[in-house]
Amino acid sequence: MSHHLFLLSPTDTPLYTLTHQSTRPTASNTLPISSNLPAWSTSAFAGTVAALSGAASLSSTSDRAFGGVPGGAGSEGAGSVRGGGQDRHVIQMIANASLDAVEETMRMNGAMYLKAVDKFNEWTVSAFVTAGNMKFILLHESKNDEGIRSFFMDVWELYLKTIMNPFHTAHTPIRSSVFDVRVRMSAKKYL
């Protein structure tokens, strides 16, 4: 079960991305939509991809199906792309699409941790907005509010320490390996 984290600047440029595989046993929550899918679609991505493209076979068609996705989704993840091939595009598209929902929730809710702002098949999008309008987007499958809140707070503190570094230019991709290691440790701890 994986989680995808995106740190976005106020101009929606991704400054940091992370894919984390959770080692925790997850309570399998079968969603109504996935139970309607044909038996051959077993992976989580397959459910999403099949529902979107409506194609019988996965790998080749999903590439073509998403060729038309707005360029923004494909060019995201300019930082460090981890994880599998074409599934990446799906994830990025989901994250991109959720931004509207995030901004709407931001307007209504003044808190920093906006819980689940968007849902896409089996993927829930949680968001965290900082005072400087940085958005932390987390895609996850299971429900884990408290853990995700702690994770976001941790990432926030690590982010603050990184931007306090005089050698770091604001709103540029975060390449610090110290930050990367610590975010991964925090993900392991809370997710």
Could you list the residues that contact another protein (CB under 8 A)?
Answer: 161, 164-168, 176, 178
CA distance 72 to 68: 11
- Residue 64: which of 73, 51, 53, 72 has the closest Cα? 53
In angstroms, give the least distance from the CB of 169 to another protein: 9
DSSP 58-125: SHHHHHHHGGGS-HHHHH---S---S-STHHHHHHHHHHHHHHHHHHHHHH--SSEEEEEEEETTEEE
Q: Could you tell me if 79 and 15 are in contact, meaning their C-beta atoms sit under 8 angstroms apart? A: yes
Q: Which is nearer to another protein, 138 or 155 (CB)?
A: 155
In angstroms, give the least distance from the CB of 146 to another protein: 29
Q: Could you tell me if 33 and 48 are in contact, meaning their C-beta atoms sit under 8 angstroms apart? A: no
In angstroms, give the least distance from the CB of 179 to another protein: 9
Locus of tokens 């926030």: 156
In angstroms, give the least distance from the CB of 79 to another protein: 17
In angstroms, give the least distance from the CB of 157 to another protein: 12
Q: Which is nearer to another protein, 149 or 168 (CB)?
A: 168
**Whole-angstrom distance between the N-terminal and C-terminal Cα of the chain?**
10
Q: Which is nearer to another protein, 27 or 170 (CB)?
A: 170
Q: Could you tell me if 3 and 139 are in contact, meaning their C-beta atoms sit under 8 angstroms apart? A: yes
Q: Which is nearer to another protein, 50 or 174 (CB)?
A: 174
- 120 to each of 94, 172, 191, how far by Cα in Å? 7, 29, 20
Q: Which is nearer to another protein, 34 or 176 (CB)?
A: 176
In angstroms, give the least distance from the CB of 82 to another protein: 22
Q: Which is nearer to another protein, 161 or 171 (CB)?
A: 161
